[in-house]
Structure 1
Amino acid sequence: MERLKLDVLGLCETRWSGEGHFASGDKLVISSGSPDGGYGGVAVVLSAAVKNSLLSYTPVSNRLLVVRIQATHVPITIIQVYAPTSSCAAEEIDDFYEKLQAVIDAMKSRQVCVVMGDFNAKLGLGRDFESGVGDYGLGQRNERGDMLAEFCRINGLVVCNTAFQHNLRSRYTWISPDGHTRNQIDYVMISKSWFSSVLDSRARPAAECDTDHHLVTMKLRTKHFRRVRCKSMAVRPFDVTRLRNPDVSEKYSVATENRFSLLQDRYNEECTPDELWDQIQAGITEVAEEVVGRRVRKKPPKPWISEEVIALAERKRIARCTGKDQEYNDLKLEVRRRIRCDRRK
């Protein structure tokens, strides 16, 4: 992400179990997977600059994840998808598009909508203005491509990585295991009303990710900013774990009792309920500050992947770009082995 200066990264087929978010170094990873894991799964990674702009996220299924980010003018809703493959039943693909359509129908019209991921569909070469497909697709459209084109037409979406002229190497997004077949099945789409803000979109074959898919990027002309937080959210919470200590707990009880005794002596009928509550709240807070104290902020966790593995992954990327197949295969196995070792630590 740092090398390509990416702020938001979508992942497909993560095979992670459950749903939620976690920190990875200075980045935030949001995941939506199946209960047991092992198949499907989508995730969105937010950079350090963007994670504070996060408004909300909604894990829909192990194929759909919705993330909302606050931008300068309006929120950006990112829908990360992983569509069923051609081997899946027709009912499964219909269920996927029904859920995706329900997500878009629930959005407000003025929001920026970005739909991205692996659609396992070929839109083909040639412009289809009504469906938002540009001149720079690839191959022949298939049945799943017809479904995707109809979905784009209904929702007014533009397929960004078919709209910008690039060489063929920057168009195809998937390579078969034997290396002979290349297809364009991964897409980044945006609302037509916001397409003028897109500066570029294309596949990045040089971004070696140890997968048969190529990274697809979109450069969007917008500014994210840190979400405004109220002061109460910025204040560190009290370290209530200290109350497990019998001495601290007894000291807190005595101090609280003494403070309430003083309030009872000062209480008079002229004191309004709001004024009384303010005094009680201030008393409890002052005692907690003196006896319990505030929780100490923890340092962000370090990345679990070592620097040596990152260096090996960079060597692997260079070997693939320079056509050194044997060195690439050797480094690929070594990187996987080192990652498993780092994960066990």
Structure 2
Amino acid sequence: MVDWNAVVGQGREGNTVEEFGLGQRNVRGSRLVEFCTDHNLVLANTWFIHHKRRLYTWARPGDAGRYQIDFIMIRQRFRNQVLDCKTFPGADVDSDHNLLVMKCHLKLKKLKKGKNAKRWDLDKLKEKRVRDCFKEHVAKGLNEKAEGNTIEEEWRVMKNEVSRAAEEMLGRKKISTKNQWITQEILDLIDERRKYKNARNEEGRRGYRRLKN
């Protein structure tokens, strides 16, 4: 995925460019087509019929002209896995380019993965009360167990007692799916900024800049 400042335009070009592009081809567009042909690539967003507002990826300041200069390139062997490719002009992506999205259906080889090891919640040991109780649990358990005959047996006893104490006192650490610095306040500001995305008046543009900052 790349912005080449290249316009391939309308018209089919072998197996690389389909006829549903936008505009007239320029020199950079010709070089891009040559590059894709040499490397067996397909320009995905020229293969699907859409309204022109779903084809352009960049608009000249003042909306004086609309151009298709961003492309998603894939290998020709995966062409039949691409279901759709188009732009979303209304998406708030903090850019003067439109969001370009490709929908595809991938068939990947299934890999066998081992079970994710659940980690102890060691942050609780930062509290003195929890730390002292943990030490007492481990010491008590070791005192009640008979000493092993070998180093391996002694190590197994110690490991089991530490694990048992951790299970009772610490528990497992919960993995958060959201970055800790992303707060609800930030999410609310993002939603509010999205309202000013396509504002045409100066007040709307000021509101967008303020919320972006």
TM-score range, shorter chain: 0.7 to 0.9
State the shift of 1:334 in Å.
0.9
Question: What does residue 168 of structure 1 align with?
Answer: 52
Q: Is 1:151 equivalent to 2:35 in the alignment? A: yes
> Does the 8 Å CA contact 1:210/1:332 hold for their aligned counterparts?
no
Question: What does residue 25 of structure 2 align with?
Answer: 140
Question: What does residue 195 of structure 2 align with?
Answer: 314
> Which of 77, 80, 97 in structure 2 is aligned with 1:196?
80
State the shift of 1:286 in Å.
0.6
CA distance in 2, matches of 1:288, 1:315: 51
> Which of 272, 287, 290 in structure 1 is aligned with 2:168?
290
Residue-by-residue CA offset, 1:67-92 (whole Å, 9 max, x unaligned): xxxxxxxxxxxxxxxxxxxxxxxxxx
> Does the 8 Å CA contact 2:196/2:205 hold for their aligned counterparts?
no
> Does the 8 Å CA contact 2:3/2:69 hold for their aligned counterparts?
yes
> Does the 8 Å CA contact 1:174/1:183 hold for their aligned counterparts?
yes
- Describe the SS at the equivalent of 1:201: strand
Normalized per residue, the structure richer in helix is: 2
CA distance in 1, matches of 2:112, 2:204: 45
> Does the 8 Å CA contact 1:305/1:339 hold for their aligned counterparts?
no
Q: 1:247 to 1:152 in 2, by over 3 A?
A: same
Residue type matched to 1:282 in 2? N
Residue type matched to 1:220 in 2? C
> Which of 1, 4, 10 in structure 2 is aligned with 1:125?
10
**Higher relative contact order (Cα pairs below 8 Å, separated by 6+ residues):** 2
> Which of 256, 277, 281 in structure 1 is aligned with 2:138?
256
- Describe the SS at the equivalent of 1:190: strand
CA RMSD of aligned residues (A): 3.4
State the shift of 1:287 in Å.
1.7
Normalized per residue, the structure richer in strand is: 1
State the shift of 1:217 in Å.
2.2
Residue-by-residue CA offset, 1:189-229 (whole Å, 9 max, x unaligned): 222122112222223334455543222222223489xx987
Question: What does residue 67 of structure 1 align with?
Answer: none
Q: Under a length normalisation based on structure 2, what TM-score does the superposition of the two structures give?
A: 0.74
Residue-by-residue CA offset, 1:286-320 (whole Å, 9 max, x unaligned): 12223444446668454443547625633654x6x
Which residues of structure 2 form unaligned runs of 5+? Answer: none
Residue type matched to 1:257 in 2? A
